[in-house]
Amino acid sequence: MKRLHVFVVSDAVGETGEQVARAVIRQFRPGYEYTVIRRFPHIQSEDLIRKIVSLAVKQQALILYTLVQAEMRSFLQALCKEQQIHAVDILGPILKTMATFIEETPTETPGIVHQLDDDYFKKIEAIEFAVKYDDGKDPRGLLQADIVIIGVSRTSKTPLSQYLAHKSYKVANVPLVPEVEPPEELFQIDASKCFGLVISPDQLNSIRKERLKALGLSDNAIYAQYHRISQEIQHFNKIAEKIGCQVIDVTNKAVEETANVIIGYMLNDR
């Protein structure tokens, strides 16, 4: 399989370009096999563009760019053509079409979407909330959360919490372990904002074995054994039923997919 290098060049943080890159790459390599995505944010000079294109030549990289200034887009495109590097303009065609459609001229202000507005501060607050109330650190956060996530270990509760936090949701998550009683607050919250994550025993066994190996431990530890996994899932089902929460099967699901399911439920409840 050919190794793929993708450079995301942006005059802001490059989040949009990277999301587009990942969405496209997943159509070819769902697990991003032999793929390296590198983000180059805050690029606002021709000198930096020259250096990036030079590096792209050496690594035979594909360049995706989100530059709002027409002059910078043209410069990068011309340089890539000269160096025979494939490049894709993500924002340019949309800006041109929009300008024609509404008969207005774009401001071409880099990073305007990330200006310090109310939405930005709401997102930062949500991210800080997710960190503070991650992994059941403080059960008081359950009563303040927009979303509460429960599940056994290694069901991606933390990555999911962070992803939802970037969508401005305050998320708290609680790991469920048979030997530890769940916090009382878990049974006091509105069940409609609580989501349980369940996964197939086979996939959980594989994930836990890999986790143990990464820690330099034996993959025969009880943590990854089927009887232990079965015990934890039974405990999870008992708690989820008691709460009355929505249960989502995350087997073979990406974090983004699970997040979209949860967001869908949240929007329908409004």
Residue type, 210: E
DSSP letter (8 states) at residue 153: T
Q: What are phi and psi of 118, to 5 degrees?
A: -60, -40
- Check: CB of residue 175 under 8 Å from CB of residue 153: yes
| 161 labelled ligand-binding | no
Instruction: Determine the Cα–Cα distance for residues 148 and 170; give it in Å rounded to an integer.
Output: 9
Q: Does the annotation flag 53 for ligand binding?
A: no
- Is 96 assigned a ligand-binding role in the annotation? no
Query: Is 156 labelled a binding residue?
Result: yes
Radius of gyration of the chain (CA): 23
Q: Is 253 exposed, middle or buried (0-12, 13-18, 19+ CB in 10 A)?
A: middle
97 is in an annotated binding site: no
154 carries a ligand binding annotation: yes
Q: Residues annotated as binding site?
A: 151-158
Binding residues for ADP: 151-158
